Amino acid sequence: MTKKINIAIDGYSSCGKGTLAKFLAKSLNYIFIDSGAMYRAVTFAMIQAGIGFDNAIELEALLPKLKITFKHIPEDDFYHTILNGEDIETEIRSMAVSNMVSPVSKIQLVRDFLVKQQQEIGLNKGVVMDGRDIGTVVFPDAELKIFMTAKAEIRAHRRLNELRENGNLAISYEEVLKNLNDRDYSDSNRVNSPLLKAESAVIIDNSELSKSEQNELALAIANKTISTI
C-alpha cells in the first residue's frame, strides 16, 4: 500500500495555489483543504454578524458556531466552501471580503481556531492544503512543501478575469492590482505567521506556465516525493 504524505502549498495571492491544490488532491485521491477560503469564510461571517476586528468578546463567541467544510461540485469540477451548511463560494470571493481578509487573518483568535482544525485533519496524512503559512506553521513537518509565485501584473489580470466571470463587471484592473499589492505587503509583514518560504520548499513561478504545465510539474514532484517515503 502506497504511503500518503501531506502537501503544503504556500505563496502570494492569486498565484493559483487553490487550483493546483485541488488538482493534486484529485489526482492523488487526497483530501483538499483551502485555508484561504476558511479565513474568507470567517471574514464573511464577521461581516454578516457586524463584528469588528477589535471585538474579541463577540468574536470568541462566534467562532465555535462556525462549521467550515468543502464540497466537490461535479457540475463544474470545483470545491465550494460551505459555512454551516450554506454554499458561500461566490460571497467569499467578493471584493468586500477580499479587502478585509488580511486584517482578519492577523487576529490570533481566528488563527488559533482555524490552525487547530487544519492540524487535526492532517493527522492521518493524505492532505493537500494551500495558504500562506502552511509549510511554516500549520504543517511544518509536511513531506512536500511548494512555494508559488508569479508577477503581480499577471496575477492581477488572472484575478480580474475571475471576478468578471463571476459577474463583478465594475471592478477595474487598477483596483485589483492595488488589492493584491496591499495583501502581499500585509501578508509578508504581519507579526503572526507571516508569508514565508519554508526552507525546504520547492519554488514554482508560474508567470509563464500554462495551467497544464504547472499541474504536470507539481504532480511529478509529488509522485517523486511519495516514492521516497
Q: What is the pLDDT of residues 142-161, one digit of tens each?
A: 999 999 999 999 999 999 99
Q: Which three cell numbers stand for residue 132?
A: 500562506
Three-class HEC string of 117-141: HHHHHHCCCCEEEEECCHHHHHCCC
Task: Say which residue the cell 485521491 belongs to.
Answer: 29
pLDDT at residue 104 greater than cutoff 90 = yes
Spatial strand order in the sheet of 127-131: 31-34, 127-131, 6-11, 144-149, 202-205
Which range among 2-6, 70-74, 98-102, 155-159 shows the weakest confidence by mean pLDDT?
Answer: 70-74
Reply yes or no on domain 6-223 having CATH 3.40.50.300.
yes
pLDDT at res. 1: 66
Q: 3-class SS at 3?
A: coil
Provide the residue ranges of all domains of the chain, joining segments of one domain with +.
6-223
Unique residue bearing C-alpha cell 495571492: 13
- Whole-model pTM? 0.78
- The residues that bridge with 86 in the sheet, in sequence order, are 83
Using alpha carbons, list the distances in angstroms from residue 66 to 6, 83, 115, 120, 201: 25, 7, 14, 16, 32
